[in-house]
Amino acid sequence: MGDWIAFWNSDHSIYVNARHRDVHYRMIADDIARYVPVRDATVLDYGCGDALHADRIAAAAKRLILVEAAPAVRARLVARFKDHPGIEVRAPDGIGGLDRSVDIVVMNSVAQYLGTDELDALLARFRAMLKGGGLLIVGDVMAQGASAASDIAALLRLAAANGFLGAALFGLARTALSDYRRLRSTLGLTRYRPAAMVQKLSAAGFAAEQAPVNIGHNQARLTFLARLPPMPDPTS
């Protein structure tokens, strides 16, 4: 994971221009916000990236905790949301003390960078954070058998619909020569069959299912919804 964190901390070319970056994060924020059921919810977004439109999630919730491992990205988040009363920014090692206090945990487009044991450890942490009946959303999971071609096709569709197709074609050429291509080739990315991810979430103590649509623009990837059972009523 350290090599991937270093990549995301660098001045990379994954987003082909400012328009791409804006559309990407706006779509993710709106998709996450739709899962927030009540205005007094606490939401934790683990591995949130630049989260340009996190305020759209915060508008649907009472408290939003953005968790990001890359120091440069985290510094940008702090600067962007320092005056927003409902948003706080933390490093992954700074999420202690949240046991049974979070309504929704989101981990979007992170599972592919984790080994299976690393994911198991995170699922245990998330289970401890969530309230009874709380929801874990594991989004943008790479499907077993998916190729880079499906990611490219999804990007080009997004670009054509949002006015940056020329920039996307140029950006794909740059990415082919970038550290991302090298890391993807050398480290690989973890992929899951839907049944295997549901089984992994179930083994971690969640009631899990695949969502009908993925978070974000790439519908060749998968989102899973995993819920804890309600806590028993101590007065009953």
Which pLDDT score is estimated for 185?
A: 61
Mean pLDDT of 2-15: 82
**Weakest-pLDDT range from 35-39, 154-158, 187-191, 229-233:** 229-233
How many of the other CB atoms lie within 10 Å of CB of 12?
13
Indicate if the pLDDT at residue 94 is higher than 80.
yes
Q: How many other C-beta atoms lie within 10 A of the C-beta of residue 69?
A: 21
Half-sphere exposure of 116 (CA within 13 A, CB side): 9
User: What pLDDT score was predicted for residue 232?
Assistant: 67
For the chain, domain boundaries: 2-227
Residues 35-47: tens digit of each pLDDT = 999 899 999 999 9
φ, ψ at 130 (rounded to 5°): -75, 145
CA geometry: angle at 139 spanning 133 and 145, to 5°?
130
pLDDT-derived band at 50, boundaries 50, 70, 90: very high
Beta carbons of 67 and 129 less than 8 angstroms apart: no
Q: Is pLDDT at 64 greater than 70 in this prediction?
A: yes
Q: How confident is the model at residue 181 (pLDDT cuts 50, 70, 90)?
A: low
Mean pLDDT in the chain?
A: 92
Q: Considering only CA atoms, which of 47, 95, 45 is closest in space to residue 70?
A: 47
CA gap 162, 149 in Å, rounded:
20
What proportion of the chain, given as a percentage, has pLDDT over 90? 77
**Rounded CA separation 157/218 (Å):** 9
List pLDDT tens digits, range 144-163.
Answer: 988 788 999 999 999 999 99
Asked if residue 20 lies in contact with residue 171, where contact means CB atoms within 8 angstroms, the answer is yes
* Whole-structure pTM value: 0.93
Torsion sign across C-alpha atoms 127, 128, 133, 134: negative
> Which residue type sits at 223?
T
Instruction: Say yes or no to pLDDT of 123 above 90.
Output: yes
Q: Looking at the domain 2-227, which fold is it?
A: Rossmann fold (3.40.50)
**45 DSSP β-pair partners:** 66, 106
